[in-house]
């Protein structure tokens, strides 16, 4: 049943502009990397180049794009009584929520893969020397994706309860903007969900030194909390 619902959700967004939005964050990060100059005599140009490109993508743009993805996946139901029709079908509401969550997670994963592709494209275009630290880059990229789980759960919940496309996006902007300050705070950085994609995409012990256990606990606890709230909300929602 969940597989069928995921397929149905995909059809709803297949011809929308959400696919074009997947290019925004990776391309802007690529422009930052293209215009950046690397310091001389660094040990690994590719690794340093990833550190240069990653903040532009993960600190502000990635959290904001997640709210846009969530808005798109709920936009159809907010129009013309879509929720009523959906919940009148013989499907569980928990399954509907899970299917939408998986679609938003899939879009975010594609966004991360495109960042990785732009990173390689711009890096080779700049003529970086040495070999790509594949294990390091993939680990950081995957870590950033895992760190988005709480944000997906929260923005999806907000997109479900607010019919306005701008409302959850505006709230996410307000909560994302402090990332610039929180990223440099030893107190709030390990527990603030919106900054976790950035922290997870940076090499531990090189730019920031944050215990991995603390990050996993913060991400895991926030994800469980937000997902549970969203799941309970759709279960009790009156249509």
Per-chain mean pLDDT for the chain: 84
Query: pLDDT by residue (tens digit) across 57-98?
Result: 999 899 999 999 998 888 877 776 677 777 777 777 788 889
Report pLDDT digits (tens) over 177-226: 988 888 888 788 888 889 999 988 887 644 344 556 666 777 888 899 99
Cα–Cα distance, 90 to 87 (Å, whole number): 8
Higher pLDDT, 49 or 211: 49
pTM given for the model: 0.90
CB 54 within 8 A of CB 136: no
Q: Of 42, 96, 73, 50, whose CA–CA distance to 156 is shortest?
A: 73
The pLDDT value recorded for residue 114 is 95
Contacts 24+ apart (CB under 8 A), 160-166: 160/74, 160/77, 160/97, 160/100, 160/230, 160/233, 160/234, 160/237, 161/233, 161/237, 163/78, 165/71, 165/75
């Amino acid at each position: 049943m969940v597989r069928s619902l995921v397929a149905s959700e995909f059809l709803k967004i297949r011809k929308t502009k959400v696919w074009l939005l997947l290019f925004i964050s990776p391309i802007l990060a690529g422009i930052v990397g293209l215009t950046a100059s690397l310091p001389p005599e660094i040990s690994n140009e590719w690794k340093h180049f990833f550190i240069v490109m990653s903040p532009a993508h993960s600190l502000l743009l990635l959290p904001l794009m997640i709210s846009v993805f969530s808005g798109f996946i709920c936009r159809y139901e907010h129009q013309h009584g879509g929720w009523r029709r959906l919940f009148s079908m013989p499907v569980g509401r928990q399954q509907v929520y899970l299917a939408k969550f998986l679609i938003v997670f899939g879009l975010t994963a594609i966004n991360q893969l495109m960042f990785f592709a732009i990173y390689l494209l711009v890096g080779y275009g700049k003529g970086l020397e040495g070999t790509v630290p594949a294990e390091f880059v993939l680990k950081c990229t995957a870590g950033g994706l895992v760190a988005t789980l709480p944000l997906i759960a929260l923005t999806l919940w907000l997109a479900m309860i607010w019919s306005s496309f701008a409302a959850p996006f505006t709230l996410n902007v307000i909560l994302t903007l402090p990332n610039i300050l929180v990223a440099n705070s030893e107190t709030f950085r390990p527990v603030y969900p919106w900054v976790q994609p950035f922290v997870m995409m940076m090499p531990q012990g090189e730019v920031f030194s944050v215990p991995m256990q603390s990050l996993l606990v913060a991400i895991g606890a926030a994800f469980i909390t937000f997902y549970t709230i969203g799941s309970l909300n759709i279960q009790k929602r009156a249509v």
